Chains A and B, each alone.
Chain A
């Protein structure tokens, strides 16, 4: 029997909702779809590029913690989704401790 690995389903994509914190600029597009098997680092890179190539941004899941860059997006979605979205807050200076 083929072991069923529910962990990463490459076919699935997840809606990420980006919300600015404090004086972070508002992005043109705040919601986008991303493949669920990608690491969180790909969202970090995406936000950096959307903010005009900033080399550092601070991202938070549900205004509470910064996921490590190697977290899998589907895992974060499964544990922390709100409705059918993964809510990520972004800041250009450190927020929430």
Chain B
């Protein structure tokens, strides 16, 4: 890793997303207008991690017959996937105005205490669900990179905890210390580049594709390989990405803590 790459990673990881959270109108049980809740959360972090604070704040406005593990979030009534990094959710719901990518800041979302949308969200059983998804995502990206997830499986319990804490708090340097065997690898050591692409036009929204690291390709060619002709904007970590950027380099500098590069495609 060059000094510049480390600096980029450090800055990206320490980026925050300002959230403005309002209580879903279906959950307001008492008269009075609930005050919105404002919070800045690390880009790399996840929505379930703020549930405890949120429920304390809105508790007084809603009846108490809810289950903490069934609290979920939505944007304009669309359920937000709790297992996607918050920064990625912000990218997905950004828009294009005058040919410029506009991030919806603050990200105005709703919190919902009931009617968990089990048809669109993965089942959630508390923070253990989030931790399990994160660990498996890390193993999955490692299996793409190296053909085996052994370096992640071989982490000690202490290292695992450290990696998870660094992910939650956006601490790149701490993360890098424990993950040298599988993060920031040079191209010649990688098999497939772990990339997740979100494009609304794809059936499932998000997809994985086996980009061979040896093929050295720019991000626009990579996108075209997956979705065909593409004229819109490519966004990662809230940044509009020039089409000629090298895909492996982007992964190295803009990957999330689960070691996946999350690319969002926006139509102009």
A interface residues (Cβ-Cβ under 8 A, vs B) = 1, 3-8, 37, 39, 61-62, 64-72, 75-76, 78-80, 96-97
Contact in complex: B202, A8 (CB < 8 Å): yes
Per the bound structure, the CA–CA distance linking A96 and B139 in Å amounts to 10
Per the bound structure, the CA–CA distance linking A63 and B157 in Å amounts to 20
Task: Out of B81, B143, B207, B226, name the residue touching A72 (CB < 8 Å).
Answer: B207
Contact in complex: A79, B227 (CB < 8 Å): no
Q: Closest Cβ of chain B: how far from A19's Cβ, in Å?
A: 16
Contact in complex: A4, B137 (CB < 8 Å): no
Question: Nearest residue in B to A65 (C-beta to C-beta)?
Answer: B139
Contact in complex: A79, B204 (CB < 8 Å): no
Q: Show 17 residue pairs from A and B whose CB-CB distance is below 8 angstroms, ordered by the A residue.
A: A1-B228, A6-B227, A7-B226, A7-B227, A8-B204, A64-B143, A64-B153, A65-B137, A66-B132, A67-B140, A72-B203, A72-B208, A75-B207, A75-B209, A78-B210, A79-B208, A97-B135
Q: Closest Cβ of chain A: how far from B157's Cβ, in Å?
A: 10
Contact in complex: A68, B143 (CB < 8 Å): no
How many B residues face the partner with a CB closer than 8 A?
A: 33
B122 within 8 Å of A (CB atoms)? yes
Q: Closest Cβ of chain A: how far from B232's Cβ, in Å?
A: 11
With A3-B227, A7-B202, A61-B143 in contact, is A71–B208 under 8 Å at CB? Answer: yes
Per the bound structure, the CA–CA distance linking A90 and B238 in Å amounts to 38
Which residues from chain A contact B144 at a C-beta distance below 8 Å?
79-80
B192, B208, B228, most chain A CB atoms within 10 A: B208
With A39-B204, A79-B208, A79-B210 in contact, is A4–B227 under 8 Å at CB? Answer: yes
Q: Encode B209-248 as 1/0 by CB contact (under 8 A) with A.
A: 1100000000000000111111000000000000000000
Main secondary structure of the interface of A (DSSP, over half): loop
Q: Closest Cβ of chain A: how far from B209's Cβ, in Å?
A: 7
Per the bound structure, the CA–CA distance linking A26 and B8 in Å amounts to 50
Which residues from chain A contact B210 at a C-beta distance below 8 Å?
78-79
Contact in complex: A64, B148 (CB < 8 Å): yes
Given A7-B227, A64-B139, A80-B144, 9 new contacts (CB under 8 A): A6-B228, A8-B203, A64-B140, A65-B149, A68-B83, A70-B122, A72-B204, A78-B208, A96-B153
Which residues from chain B contact A78 at a C-beta distance below 8 Å?
208-210
B57 within 8 Å of A (CB atoms)? no
B122, B135, B143, B152, most chain A CB atoms within 10 A: B143
B201 within 8 Å of A (CB atoms)? yes
Task: Out of A62, A68, A97, name the residue touching B137 (CB < 8 Å).
Answer: A68
Which residues from chain B contact A67 at a C-beta distance below 8 Å?
136, 140
